[in-house]
Amino acid sequence: MKRTYPKIEASHFRWLLGIFLAYFSLILTYIVAWIFKIDSLILGAVILSAFTLLSALVIDKNILKKLFIFPNFRDIKMLVIGVFCSFLFVFLASFATQILKIKGDVNPIFDILPNLKIFDLILSSAIQFIGEEILFVLPFLYVINKMGKIPMALRVFLAVIISSLLFGALHLPTYNFNIGQSLIIIGLVRTGITISYLLTKNLSISYLTHGIYDWTLIYVAVKFHLLEFIMAIFL
């Protein structure tokens, strides 16, 4: 049976409250880390993802099993296509950088890479991607579920645009409030990753695509000394 976007029966208030709490989780994580003097990337990622997952439960207590589905064979095939599309959008983002003359700021992760254990980096990012995918999918599904009077094709288009822009906005502090880099470049790259979700309606596949994309870029940047080339399109 063809998979569809999860139908989540929740009021506008519960949707917006859950989305607000999910985004507020970023600030709350920072506050908790500051109060308890937490400098562990792994623990910080656990706190962020835990807060975002709890925020999603405000919308629907069963939302997580609707979002994260164990992959089937078709999902794995779509994962390959999704990863390809994510890197295709890297090149689109690169062109946008040149055309719009957007100057990129380096993601702080590159400053601490030399002092990081590879296990800590992989584990912390693997945990954090869970929270980041929740931050993407909640606004996306809000549009899908609560704008039923709009044709589905248009709803999906709007959901992609809105969720990508919001996801890009989350990166404003990371990139020194560089609006062009965060909203346009990061937004474009997020759109590439989102294709995995459009193809599968399965956040597990979007999560895997996100991880493969990020880890590949980090490896390429460090291994081949291409930091300056990709710093404006790193997600």
Its sign, for the CA torsion 201, 205, 206, 207, is positive
Each residue's pLDDT, cut to its tens digit, for the chain (235 residues) gives: 689 999 999 999 999 999 999 999 999 999 999 999 998 999 999 999 999 999 999 999 999 999 999 999 999 999 999 999 999 998 888 788 888 887 766 666 656 666 768 788 889 999 999 999 999 999 999 999 999 999 999 999 999 999 999 999 998 887 778 888 889 888 998 999 999 999 999 999 999 999 999 888 877 766 766 555 454 444 4
DSSP conformation class of 116: S
Task: Reduce the DSSP state of residue 39 to 3 states and report it.
Answer: coil
- In whole angstroms, give the CA distance from residue 213 to residue 226: 15
- In whole angstroms, give the CA distance from residue 83 to residue 193: 7
Do 55 and 25 meet the contact criterion of CB atoms below 8 Å apart?
yes
Residue type, 205: I
Residue type, 228: E
Q: What is the pTM of this model?
A: 0.91
